[in-house]
Structure 1
Amino acid sequence: MTTQTDTAKNTKLTKFLNGIEKVGNKLPDPFMLFIVLAVIVIIASWIISSFGVSFIQPGENEEIAINSLVSAEGLQYMLTSMIDNFVGFTPLGIVLTMMLGIGLANKVGLLETFIKNTILQAPKQLVTYAVIFTGILGNLAADAAFIIVPPLAAMVFYNVGRHPLAGLAAGFAGVGSGFTANIIVTNTDAVLSGISAEVMGALNTNVTVTPVDNYFFMIASTLLLTVTGALITEKIVEPRLGKYQGNVDKEFEPTKPIEKRALRNAAIAAIGYISLLLLVLFLPSSPLRSEDGGMIPSPFLDGIVPIIMLFFVSTAVAYGITTKKIENSRSIAKMMGEAIKDMSGFIVLVFAVAQFIAYFEWTNIGSWLAVSGAAFLESADMTGLGIVIAFILLTALLNLLIFSGSALWAIEAPVFLQMFYFLGYHPAFIQAAYRVADSSTSVITPMNPYFIIVLAFMQEYDKKAGLGTLMALMLPYSLAFLTVWILLLLAFVFLGIPFGPGIGVYL
């Protein structure tokens, strides 16, 4: 195989990305990053308040001052609110609840078998589309998809006589650049909307964000990105790689009969669960609809997280019992516990994130920046969609340094959600714009912890492959996904298509 590594190392693009890597490696761990940010908020609140800064929030007549955390009242607040900030942080309960179901499905092997069968059963001419589509759906398994999909996709391409690195790149693009898209509501929806709801809850408004508020946009995104990723693979990436000359032992092991039976039983359980849900949903005087029979708002939407969790539990149990991975009720509890244990890093990170957001809100710095920013944009006549596009591009660049989608949104949401809210934009629309940027550039940054793992998979097929090889391989996907996703966002805006149930661009 001919590799472009040596050439890529000399390109300006690779030098730029290597610089990003060097800067990114100097950033502290995300937990410590938010501790540092919390300290910065403490110091900033003291400095700003010493100048007597105050502002009037739109819709309110009362003048609001910046509260200093370097004060008796501030010290009391930090000590007495620390536990409540952590335990009451909205995304924490949502994520842990979702992981009881999704984690169980992952532990019994349901998600991996589903992914494998989706790829294997596709006709050869549709293999590329199946790989991208499966990669996008793979975010159901959260970060596990980064480890499952790319090597499986490389093996699929190798077994059908195509270049394995093209398959690996397609799988990585689907999982990484398409991470926040899906055709069903996932953990990502819960995490991001939880942070958004937390921020909007600090305002005196009934406007909030739920896990389904970007649902229609994400369905369309999944389909568009699948086609885009397949075309990039077949028209740009694979021709550039040429014919694969290597010889490796990567023969596919087909799904076992018991796994196929288990997958069938899981599908039966899924159909049964959805049928029962629809039956209850459309019953006269359904308890899942509002008092006037509507769906927006309704107990159904309010309870979407436990509804999704129970869906995964029911299908996982059906699968696990068939494969005998679930022998009794203790097996279920054990695997759920293991899934929650896998979330320990997230739980630790949430502690720091919760304190930072709480301090930001209590000091009123976020509101002050939002009101000031909105006033500046209005005075500069920068209130149109151009500023939303600028926000997307800024986020795409920041994502090169801060990989975690929830971590970056926790930084941006307190400022930008409020700022755009004061400009009349719906927070769910701004969240959708954020998701476009957050996913697109995640496959070209070494700050992605799975970037090096994917590189290791790549080196199984090409021993000489390096960072430049993988970056050069993934850059076309990153740029294409970002471009077509922005165009899709604009299409939704100009055609008046709702981004989710009852969600438009403006309030």
Structure 2
Amino acid sequence: MTVQREAPSPDEAGAARLPLVIRALGVVERAGNALPHPFWLFWILSAVLAVVSAVLAGLDVSVVSPADHKTVVVQNLLSGDGLAMAVSTMVSNFAEFPPMATIVVVIMGVAVAERSGFLSAAMKVGVARVPASWVVFAVAFAGTVAHVASAAAYIILVPLGGLAFRAVGRSPILGIVVAYTSIASGYDASPVPTPNDAIFAGITTAAAKIAGGDDAYVSPLSNWFFNIASSLLLATVITLVTRWVLAKRPDLDPDPDADAEDLGTLHLSERERSALRRALLALGGGLVLVVAALAPTSSPLRGAGGSIVESPFIDGIAAVVAVLFALTGIVYGARSGSIAKPGDVPKLMAAGVKQMAPVLVLFFAIAQFLAYFDWTHIGDVLAVRAAELLEHSGMPIVVVFLLILLLLTVVNVMVTSGSAMWALAAPVLVPMLMLAHVPAETTQALFRIADSGSTAITPMSPYFVMALGFLQRYRKDAGIGTLAAYTLPLAIAMTAAWTLLFLAWWALGIPLGPGAPVR
């Protein structure tokens, strides 16, 4: 007599495969929760910096700057001069923090496009009008483009991913996973300039000045070429891993009583479609005007010798991006009815800036820490000593890249704020690698990979919890381990492929962006 063994349920099978992942995520969550808020973390680090500067100054620690061959001595932040500097420059540190004005300008423009409904409508059309065979790539690529909406990308696209997959007869659970992972683990890869580009460029500029002097400057478009290629690569990787791995899972069917009607719809009304067409025409017209203004070699928007790379246009690219987004939002809102009168536009801008208030508060603490770090010259000492160590060790620069990437990827699991993590790492890594003849733009491109790859698997991200909430609309018993199990194969494959792209980019010497050589 043959006794047939009952097959394990999908939940039991998943639990059997993932106990280690679930336990590891639990450890990460508990350790991360023990960390202070990033605002207080930077003040704590400032206090630690002050003590360390006092010790090093007492030991007369100094280095010879490779830039001008002058001796640089560590200054004591706890001295009278240090206290006077800290008090007298607190306001100017914040006001002159490189990303501050740029991010506010960009957000005002993006807020009009997002809150008028334009970005949501564009995403709906982008994922709804594709064949079933292309839906994975469409949602994944939309996830990289959605970063222009910053955090709103999660709110808009994650539920739309589920709806798009369900509309073509595929698992909505898979749609939510693809949408969330494409945003989270591809957050710093976008073919369209985003607010993050402005933030990172500002922090990188401040760090580059440690080794390159006050003239050092990193443009928000410094990684643009690399970002375009990265977004296409990551969307392709997500498509392949979804098809070859995730689609074969046995637990993709939603609960029989799942009711996801409140997640929205892919349908646009006739008025919304008309508004979207007009907004896209306005965007196209705006781009034509920009090109026409840049076309003459004598254009005032060009730089010396007719240069576009070093020009007023590139210097003011944040304002150009903001105006284009605001234009599309105004045209869309005027037609759809979300903008009834001119006075509504500044209200939408104000709402966008209000949404960024937590980031601006964090910038205050970061600005002080970076100013203190620069004044003490500890960054110079670390950069020079680390560069000397690299030179004497004979370690290939590619190995250094991989070690940095591994370190930052682990840190990203705990510190999910990209601006906070880059503010910690940039003052050391950027000047250190600049002294090893690696441009600041290249170090920033490397950071993008680490800042994104592990984001989709860490429960420390508030958007992980948000995505889990959307997932539970279709599968009520889903937990942290469930979502991590879905996202882990994607996150690993995306990080590996992105790293290989970076190494190939470095080996071939392709510029990372306008006027930004990779080496």
Q: TM-score range by the shorter chain?
A: over 0.9
- Note the alpha carbon deviations across 1:450-489, whole angstroms, 9 max, x for none: 1111111111111111111111111011100110001111
Pairing partner for 1:81 from 80, 83, 89: 89
Match of 1:47 in 2: 55
- Residue of structure 1 in register with 2:352 after alignment: 339
Pairing 1:26-105 to 2, within 5 Å after superposition: 26-105=34-113
Matching of residue 307 in structure 1 with residue 320 in structure 2? yes
Alignment counterpart, residue 188 of structure 1, candidates 193, 196, 212: 196
Cα distance in 1 for residues equivalent to 2:122 and 2:327: 15
Superposed, which structure 2 residues align to 1:215-364 within 5 Å? Answer: 215-242=224-251, 244=253, 246-247=255-256, 248-250=258-260, 252=265, 254-364=267-377
Q: How many angstroms apart in 2 are the aligned matches of 1:291 and 1:298? A: 7
* C-alpha contact (below 8 Å) 1:3/1:241 kept by paired residues: no
How far apart in 2 are the matches of 1:389 and 1:503? 21
2:474 aligned with 1:461: yes
Matched, 1:173 2:181: yes
Give the drift of 1:342.
0.7
Residue 11 of structure 1, CA deviation: 2.5
Secondary structure, aligned partner of 1:292: helix
Query: Quick check: 199-208 or 105-114, which moved more?
Result: 199-208
Instruction: Tell me the residue number matched to 1:404.
Output: 417
3-state DSSP of counterpart to 2:447:
helix
Structure 1 residues 48 and 127, CA gap change in structure 2 (3 angstroms): same
Scaled by the length of structure 2, the TM-score of the pair is 0.95
Equivalent pair of 1:163/1:241 in contact (CA under 8 Å): no
| CA distance in structure 2 between the aligned counterparts of 1:243 and 1:72, rounded to whole angstroms | 64
Does 55-64 or 84-93 show the bigger shift? 55-64
SS at match of 2:63: strand
Closer/same/farther in 2, CA of residues 177 and 4 from structure 1, 3 Å limit: farther
Matched, 1:212 2:221: yes
Cα deviation, residue 25, structure 1: 0.9
Mapped contact 2:223–2:513 kept (Cα < 8 A):
yes
Q: Deviations over 1:304-330 (max 9, x none)?
A: 111111111111111011112212221
Task: Tell me the equivalent position of 1:470.
Answer: 483
Q: 1:320 to 1:90 in 2, by over 3 A?
A: same
The aligned amino acid for 2:11 is T
SS at match of 1:61: coil
The answer on whether the counterparts of 2:255 and 2:476 sit within 8 Å (CA) in structure 1 is no
Instruction: Return the match for 1:495 from 508, 515, 519.
Output: 508
The alignment covers a number of residue pairs equal to 506
Q: Tell me the distance in 2 between the aligned counterparts of 1:327 and 1:104.
A: 13
Displacement of 1:411 in angstroms is 0.4
Q: What secondary structure does 1:3 align onto? A: helix
Is contact 2:210-2:427 (8 Å) kept?
no
Letter in 2 for 1:231: L
Aligned counterparts, 1:98-177, within 5 A: 98-177=106-185
Q: Which moved more, 1:238-247 or 1:251-260?
A: 238-247
Q: Which residue of 1 aligns with 2:6?
A: none
CA contact (8 A) 2:94 2:367 kept: yes
Partner of 1:378: 391
1:241-291 deviations in Å (ceiling 9; x for gaps): 455152323353511111111110110100110001111100241111113
CA drift of 1:502 comes to: 2.9
Q: Which region of structure 1 is more displaced relative to structure 2, 233-242 or 362-371?
A: 233-242
Point out where structure 1 has 5 or more consecutive residues left out of the alignment.
none
Paired with 2:495 and 2:259, the residues of 1 have a C-alpha distance of: 36
1:441 counterpart SS class: helix
Q: Distance in 1 between matches of 2:12 and 2:322?
A: 45
Q: Is the 8 A contact 2:510 2:518 kept in 1?
A: no
**How big is each residue's C-alpha offset from its partner over 1:308-366, in whole Å with a ceiling of 9 and x where there is no partner?**
11111111111011112212221101111111111110110000000111111111111
Among 20, 33, 40, the residue aligned to 2:28: 20
1:237 counterpart letter in structure 2: L
Q: Deviations over 1:144-199 (max 9, x none)?
A: 11122111111222232211111111001111111111112111111101110122
Deviation at 1:10, TM superposition (A): 5.6
Verify the 8 A CA contact 2:146 2:153 in the aligned structure 1: yes
Superposed CA deviations along residues 120-141 of structure 1, whole A, max 9, x for unmatched, are 1111111111110111111110
Q: Measure, in 2, the Cα distance between the counterparts of 1:316 and 1:243.
A: 37
Q: Distance in 1 between the 2:216 and 2:13 partners?
A: 50
State the TM-score, normalizing by the size of structure 1.
0.97
Q: In structure 2, how many angstroms separate the alpha carbons of the residues matched to 1:38 and 1:312?
A: 38
Instruction: Judge conservation of contact 1:5–1:466 (CA < 8 Å) in 2.
Output: no
CA deviation after TM superposition for structure 1 residue 218, in Å: 0.5
Q: CA deviation at 1:503?
A: 2.1
One-letter amino acid of the structure 2 residue matched with residue 298 of structure 1: S
Residue by residue over 1:68-122, the C-alpha shift from the partner in whole angstroms, topping out at 9 and shown as x without a partner, is 1111111101100100001110101110010010011111111111111101111
| The 10-residue stretch of structure 1 (220-229 or 59-68) with the greater mean CA deviation from structure 2 | 59-68
Letter in 2 for 1:68: N
Aligned 8 A contact 1:9 1:15 in 2: no
Instruction: Give the residue type in structure 2 aligned to 1:264.
Output: R
Query: Alpha-carbon deviations, 1:416-441, whole Å to 9, x = none?
Result: 00100010001101100110111111
CA contact (8 A) 1:9 1:468 kept: no
Contact kept in structure 1, 2:174 and 2:252, CA below 8 Å: no
Letter in 1 for 2:232: L
Q: Does 2:219 correspond to 1:201?
A: no
Q: Say which SS state the counterpart of residue 329 (structure 1) adopts.
A: coil
- What SS does the corresponding residue of 1:167 show, helix, strand or coil? helix
Inter-partner Cα distance in structure 2 for 1:243 and 1:415: 45
1:202 to partner: Cα distance: 3.7
Residues of 1 paired with 2:451 and 2:466: CA distance? 20
Paired with 2:97 and 2:252, the residues of 1 have a C-alpha distance of 52
Amino acid at match of 1:256: S
The residue identity in structure 1 corresponding to 2:67 is: G
Distance (whole Å) between structure 2 residues aligned to residue 167 and residue 325 of structure 1 = 29
Residue 10 of structure 2 aligns to a residue whose secondary structure is: coil
After TM superposition, which residue ranges in structure 1, 4 or more long, deviate above 6 angstroms?
Answer: none
Q: Which moved more, 1:244-253 or 1:171-180?
A: 244-253
Please tell me the root mean square deviation across aligned C-alpha atoms, in Å: 1.5
Shift of 1:18: 1.7
